[in-house]
Amino acid sequence: MEKKKITIAATGLNNIDNPGPGVPFIRGVRESKEFNSRIIGLAYENLEPGIYMHNLIDKSYQIPYPSSGSDVLLRRIEYINKLEKINVLIPNFDAELYTFMKSSDKLKEMGINTFLPTLEQFEERHKSVLPEFGKKYDIKVPESKPIFSEREIPDLVNEYKYPMLVKGKYYDAYIAYTPEQVRMFMNKISSKWGLPIIIQEFVVGTEVNVVALGDGNGITIGAVPMRKQYITDKGKAWAGITLDDTNLLDITNKIIGKTKWRGGMELEIIKTKEDEYYLIEINPRLPAWVYLSVGAGQNLPEALVKLALGENVEPMTKYKNGTLFIRYSYDLICDISEFEKLTLNGEL
């Protein structure tokens, strides 16, 4: 069967110690048995490693941050699309999703397909309202609350015990054992991601994760659970192994079924010694470890592209238990002329 030729654009090319999902997503698409893809990398910074991975990415373009305004971003996308004729665009960062979700109709007018959560789905799973999400869908969730000022820190002991988790609204999470540490982490996180800061009850147990894909009608297209085997100082998985855990899959199917989730997601869950499962976070896109799903037998990146194109995708229910991923560092050797070309022209 001849592969279908398509052009896919993707963000999230910062394959560093806190990696974006773009490069592993692209690796999955490259292994598709159905698509012959031209891959367009969309980068925010000129040193994102994915830009220079020419075996994975055919051409890269620099794009403005969403904070520059949706009109500025869309004008840049429109320019790139005139040159590349993009069929599917996959944004891979939490912080950019809102802009792309609001602009999905305008992108569609350009001939660019996306497959993203609805605004309602995106908003109701925010860390600041996760307890309400748990009550609505009957999922165990640790207590949490947003705070906006250091003046609120002394009163936290009236509601939470130390240690407690201090989280950013998009990224970063730290365990704080004292009010001073809460203050330090609050300043550190807010300087990058702004306010509010989320204070969450600390649940003792093992962190397990699920990468999943919903079709928007309540059907789970695929889901692969994983336990982190090695964690960096940023709390990111540097190694992980697939799990045979029907409880994790039941929780995933329940959330996707009740919310009718549309697109990729990552569930972060704490499993206690009493075998209770607490949902601590929902990331509204495929995670940086999504390539593990490909290795385990579920090519979720390929399935996401098919959904974006409006194709029928049969649910994948099997995966290989005990599949291990180990992340590693790799030095890319590039010529300074490539860096200069991207910096001056905004494309490479």
- Answer with the residue of higher pLDDT: 209 or 17: 209
Residue 240 and residue 234 in contact, taking contact as beta carbons nearer than 8 Å: no
Q: Is 22 left (phi over 0), alpha (psi -120 to 50) or beta?
A: alpha
pLDDT of residue 102: 94
Chosen domain end from 201, 226, 246: 201
Indicate the number of domains in the chain: 2
Beta strands at 35-43 and 4-10: parallel, antiparallel or unpaired: parallel
Q: In which residue are the tokens 């001073």 written? A: 180
Residues 9 and 110 in one domain: yes
Residue 232 clears pLDDT 90, i.e. is over it: no
Residue 31 clears pLDDT 90, i.e. is over it: yes
As given in the structure block, the two tokens for residue 324 are: 């291990």
Grade residue 117 by pLDDT with cuts at 50, 70 and 90: very high
Residues 55 and 17 in one domain: yes
Residues 22 and 80 in one domain: yes
pLDDT in tens, 270-284: 999 999 999 999 999
Cα separation, 20 vs 12, in Å, equals 5
78 within a domain of the structure (yes/no): yes
Residue 248 and residue 269 in contact, taking contact as beta carbons nearer than 8 Å: yes
Residue 121 and residue 261 in contact, taking contact as beta carbons nearer than 8 Å: yes
195 within a domain of the structure (yes/no): yes
Residue 20 and residue 11 in contact, taking contact as beta carbons nearer than 8 Å: yes
Chosen domain end from 182, 201, 220: 201
Residue 231 clears pLDDT 90, i.e. is over it: no
Residue 194 belongs to domain spanning: 143-201
Residues 151 and 96 in one domain: no
Residues 110 and 176 in one domain: no
Residues 11 and 96 in one domain: yes
262 within a domain of the structure (yes/no): no
Residues 11 and 108 in one domain: yes
Grade residue 172 by pLDDT with cuts at 50, 70 and 90: confident
Residues 110 and 9 in one domain: yes
318 within a domain of the structure (yes/no): no
Percent of the chain with pLDDT over 90: 89
Chosen domain end from 160, 183, 201: 201
pLDDT of residue 18: 78
pLDDT in tens, 135-157: 999 999 999 999 999 999 999 99
Q: Provide the H-helix boundaries in 125-245.
A: 130-137, 179-193
As given in the structure block, the two tokens for residue 265 are: 């997601």
293 within a domain of the structure (yes/no): no
Nearest C-alpha neighbor of 286 from the set 255, 263, 268, 269: 263
Residues 103 and 175 in one domain: no
Residue 16 clears pLDDT 80, i.e. is over it: no
Q: What's the whole-number mean pLDDT along residues 6-22?
A: 91
Which CATH number covers residue 181? 3.30.1490.20
pTM: 0.93
